[in-house]
Amino acid sequence: MTRKLRPATQLVRGGTIRSNFGETSEAMFLTSGFVYDSAEQAEATFKNEIEHYQYSRFANPTLTMLEDRLAALEGADLCRLMATGMAAVHSTLLSHLKTGDRLVASRALFGSCHWIITTLLPQYGMETEFVDGGDLAQWGVALSRPATMVLLESPSNPMLELVDVVAVAKLAHAAGALVVVDNVFATPLLQKPLEQGADIVVYSCTKHMDGQGRVLGGAVLGPKKWVEETLMPFIRNTGPAMSPFNAWVILKGLETLKLRVDQMCRNAAAVADFLSERTEISRVLYPFRADHPQHALAVQQMTGGGTLVTFDVKGGKDATFRFMNALNLVDISNNLGDSKSLATHPATTTHMRIGPEERAKLGITDGTVRLSVGLEDIADLIEDLAEALDAVGGMATARAAE
Ligand SMILES: *Cc1c(COP(=O)(O)O)cnc(C)c1O
């Protein structure tokens, strides 16, 4: 078929390889190795003269199906899967960067990405520099000198800050840098970084792709030459491979990705509107609300506002903990993109280790809550949030009366 299929179709059909048995659902190849018909065939395989699976650290048919499906969806030449999202980020950076190379990154990164950049890379003599992702002038200054790579996350965790991918990619390319976008919060459906000038896209498949809280996974998507010559030797020899079982679970997750993400976006938008009306809340961040500081960029760069809402509860940590503890339906958890709604208090969990100064720079307060909005009925979600906010107010009134 030469016709380009639309995303909903690619998510169900892309990359499927049927075995001789004609199974409907993708087969799970739980095998570590593969056998050869002859010693000659093994030799030819190792000489790269023929295509034949060798060992599941390098490639596996269930992974191939998921890789081809994700590459088609993203519009990338090639995809390689990893055991986790962090393995994907780490392999992307470490396969490419050498001692003396320079990396420029947006400050608002997932906690472990932050650790790699501030702690691990300097150990290998790589120079790293953070900028405020939303400030193009800072990108301009940082990229006025040559750089090797740029890493950015948009929207960011947890403050949903956006980076202008088109503008930063231009600056980065002029500085000689490859642009890597961590596209987890946007999902492959709401933002297309490769069309906006990025070179490489990374995902944690743990989030929306599985989306049902079952398995970990990561993906790197990029140009054929870079994947084959830079990334592949690194992953073949260092071994961050995804399990075929996890790849199969994620393949099945993708079949409902569009349905889930579309509904979660509708729920998130409704939750954001509800929260913005409540007096217990001092700030609501949702990229597709007109009051988001980068709303214009959001609607230009994304096709939906995403599945997360970040907000501040008035009254600091005490009031915020009271609110979270009063939630009955929404769970307290640090995961996101799940069909179950999950609330996180970044200052004491995901962003505890970066310290108060860095949190202040990112705008994370003791009242900040990151809500990953799931698939529950929106009326039930809003009732749960309303009851928990009433509990905060009730306590405050009771105290004031004392
Ligand atoms: C979760 C996440 C990661 C790490 O993925 P894991 O699968 O947990 O290793 C990286 N970046 C972002 C933005 C994430 O949300």
Select from 206, 216, 242 the residue to mutate for testing ligand 1; criterion: most ligand atoms less than 8 Å from CB: 206
Is the CB–ligand 1 distance for residue 196 below 6 Å? no
- Indicate if ligand 1 lies below 6 Å from the C-beta of 91: no
Does residue 206 have its Cβ closer than 6 Å to ligand 1? yes
Atom from ligand 1 closest to the CA of residue 156: 13
Query: How far away, in angstroms, is 204 Cα from ligand 1 center?
Result: 5
Question: How many Cα atoms sit within 13 Å of 285 on the Cβ side?
Answer: 23
Cα of 206 from ligand 1 centre, angstroms: 7
The answer to whether the CB of 150 falls within 8 A of the CB of 177 is yes
Atom 6 of ligand 1, residue of closest alpha carbon: 85
- Prediction pTM value: 0.95
Q: Half-sphere exposure of residue 383, counting CA atoms within 13 Å on the CB side? A: 7
Residues 6+ apart with CB under 8 A from 352: none
- Give the three-class secondary structure for 337: coil
Residue of minimum CA distance from atom 4 in ligand 1: 85
Q: Does 400 have pLDDT greater than 60?
A: no
CA dist 341 and 343 (Å) reads: 7
How many angstroms separate the CA atoms of 147 and 114, rounded? 18
Residue nearest to atom 15 of ligand 1 (CA): 184
Read off the amino acid at residue 52: H
The region of weakest confidence among 114-118, 246-250, 268-272 is 114-118
Q: How far is the centre of ligand 1, averaged over its atoms, from the C-alpha of 147 (Å)?
A: 24
Which atom of ligand 1 is nearest the CA belonging to 205?
A: 7
Task: Encode pLDDT of 20-75 as tens digits.
Answer: 999 999 999 999 999 999 999 999 999 999 999 999 999 999 999 999 999 999 99
Query: Do 326 and 391 touch, CB atoms closer than 8 A?
Result: yes
User: Cα dihedral sign for 83, 84, 86, 89?
Assistant: positive
Of the pLDDT bands very low, low, confident and very high (cuts 50, 70, 90), residue 398 is: very low
Q: Indicate if the pLDDT at residue 395 is higher than 70.
A: no
Label residue 4 by pLDDT band (50, 70, 90). Answer: confident
The response to whether residue 184 sits with its C-beta less than 6 Å from ligand 1 reads yes
What letter does residue 347 receive in the DSSP assignment? G
The residue nearest atom 8 of ligand 1, judged by CA position, is: 85
- Mean confidence (pLDDT) of the chain: 95
Q: Is the CB of 85 under 6 A from ligand 1?
A: yes
Q: What is the pLDDT of residue 2?
A: 56
Q: Can you list the alpha helix ranges (DSSP code H) found in 143-243?
A: 165-174, 187-190, 224-226, 232-238
The pLDDT value given to residue 140:
98
Distance 3 CA to ligand 1 centre (A): 33
Question: Does residue 399 carry a pLDDT above 70?
Answer: no
Ligand 1 atom nearest residue 89's Cα: 10
CA–centroid distance, 86 to ligand 1, in Å, is 6
Q: Is the pLDDT reported for residue 162 higher than 60?
A: yes
Q: How confident is the model at residue 262 (pLDDT cuts 50, 70, 90)?
A: very high
Beta carbon of 106 within 6 Å of any ligand 1 atom: no
Whether the per-residue pLDDT at 157 is higher than 50: the answer is: yes
User: What is the pLDDT, as a whole number, of residue 396?
Assistant: 47
Helical segments of 37-164, H only: 39-46, 61-74, 85-96, 111-115, 121-123, 136-142
Residue 275 CA, ligand 1 centroid: distance in Å: 26
Task: Decide whether any atom of ligand 1 lies within 6 Å of the 208 Cβ.
Answer: no
Confidence at residue 75, expressed as pLDDT on a 0 to 100 scale = 96
Q: Which tens digits make up the pLDDT trace of 193-243?
A: 999 999 999 999 999 999 999 999 999 999 999 999 999 999 999 999 999
86 ligand 1 Cβ < 6 A: yes
How far does the centroid of ligand 1 lie from the alpha carbon of residue 347, in Å?
A: 17
Ligand 1 centroid, distance to 317 Cα (angstroms)? 25
Counting from 1 in the atom list of ligand 1, the atom nearest the Cα of 217 is 7
Predicted local confidence at residue 337, as pLDDT: 98
Q: Which atom of ligand 1 is nearest to the CA of 109?
A: 13
Cβ-contact 89, 205 below 8 angstroms: no
The stretch 74-81 carries a mean pLDDT of 98
Percent of the chain surpassing pLDDT 90: 95
CA dihedral 166, 170, 176, 180 (to 10 degrees): -10
The one-letter code for the residue type at 107 is R
For residue 394, the Cα-to-chain-centroid distance in whole angstroms is 37
What are the tens digits of pLDDT across the range 364-384? 999 999 999 999 999 999 999
Q: Which two tokens stand for residue 377?
A: 């009925």
Atom of ligand 1 nearest to the CA of 335: 1
The residue length of the chain stands at 402
> Is residue 187 within 6 Å of ligand 1 at its C-beta?
no
| pLDDT of residue 263 exceeding 90 | yes
Q: Residue 150 — very low, low, confident or very high, per pLDDT cuts 50/70/90?
A: very high
Domains delineated in the chain: 7-254 (3.40.640.10), 257-401 (3.90.1150.10)
In the predicted model, is pLDDT for residue 146 greater than 60?
A: yes
371 within 8 A of 336, measured Cβ to Cβ:
no
- Give residue 53's identity as a one-letter amino acid code: Y
pLDDT at 393: 75
**Cα torsion through 279, 375, 347, 298, rounded to 10:** -80
| Arithmetic mean of pLDDT, 84-93 | 98
Q: Is residue 1 very low, low, confident or very high in pLDDT (cuts 50, 70, 90)?
A: low
